[in-house]
Amino acid sequence: MPKVRTPLNELTVANGETLTWGARTYVMGIINVTPDSFSGDGLGDDVSAIVDQALRFQEEGADILDMGAESTRPGHKRVSLDEELSRLMPALEAVAAGVNLPISVDTTKPEVARQAVDAGTVIINDIWGLKGEPSLANVAAETGAALVLMHNQQGTGYDDLLPDIVSSLQSSVTTAIKSGVPQGNIIVDPGIGFGKTPDQNLAVLARLDALKELNCPILVGSSRKSTLGLLLDLPPDERVEGTAATVSLAISGGADIVRVHDVKEMVRVCRVTDAVVRGWRPQGWKAT
């Protein structure tokens, strides 16, 4: 059996700080171990480049790294278990050995999650919120890994957008808890860009505080999403300012973690927004 991991709220993140919800926003840096990322930053099987990116993210102030080896871009094709493992594991093992940050694995496959946890991962990030593979909750329960439950669905039909999303996420949380995952190890994600129209994505950001009733930390992943491309008429790698706006708005709405491609820039956005929204101040702050 894999070694039981440190509880989520005891993880050591950037600068040796222990993760404390509400103190500031935590930055999750995206590392795409794929050849076909929508954002154009997929690193494929280049382990050296992946480690370099992880080290750069650590230097830039990331708190968590999120590694995935299967693209979730619109129209993506599923990869086999063997292919996902062959892509992920060499990179994950190298990053775990070289970087002093907690690692999340972005996968929908229980066996990938289990092997990733064996290799050092402490968070499982499920884009289907256990609606696709409920047994991912068993892996989290048995290993002590934290679990990100994202809202997702086929199609974009809703009776009432935010209540429907909250209800779906509550169902996911209940499934996880019944499987033995502690409430304190569960994070919820409204799923910007998944099963939603551009207008619905914007409505979720505008009403993000509706998710607070779930009593779980909130993760938001709006980085470089196509809604920003439509608003700005820009390709993914030129959406940093649009991402910054959504990150700041998400924090104002209650986000605890933001999942981003542009770590350096978004760390800066988070710190300024946290200073206003959460009263955060840097160590050694001296007001004059």
Active site residues: 225, 259
Q: Are 257 and 219 spatial neighbours (Cβ–Cβ below 8 Å)? A: yes
Contacts of residue 158, defined as CB under 8 A and 6 or more positions apart, other chains included, come to 164, 165, 200
The span from the CA of 41 to the CA of 188, in Å, is 25
DSSP string, 74-89: TTPPP--HHHHHHHHH
SS3 string, 142-204, reads HHCCEEEEECCCCCCCCCCHHHHHHHHHHHHHHHHHHCCCCHHHEEEECCCCCCCCHHHHHHH
- What Rg do the C-alpha atoms of the chain give, in angstroms? 18
Question: Two tokens at 162?
Answer: 């935010």
Angstrom CA distances, 122 to 141, 146, 228, 229, stand at: 12, 6, 31, 32
Question: Two tokens at 122?
Answer: 């402490």
> In what side-by-side order are the strands of the sheet with 257-260?
186-189, 146-150, 123-126, 103-106, 64-68, 26-32, 257-260, 219-220
Angle 162-163-166 from CA coordinates, rounded to 5°: 85
Q: Which residue has the tokens 């009776």?
A: 159
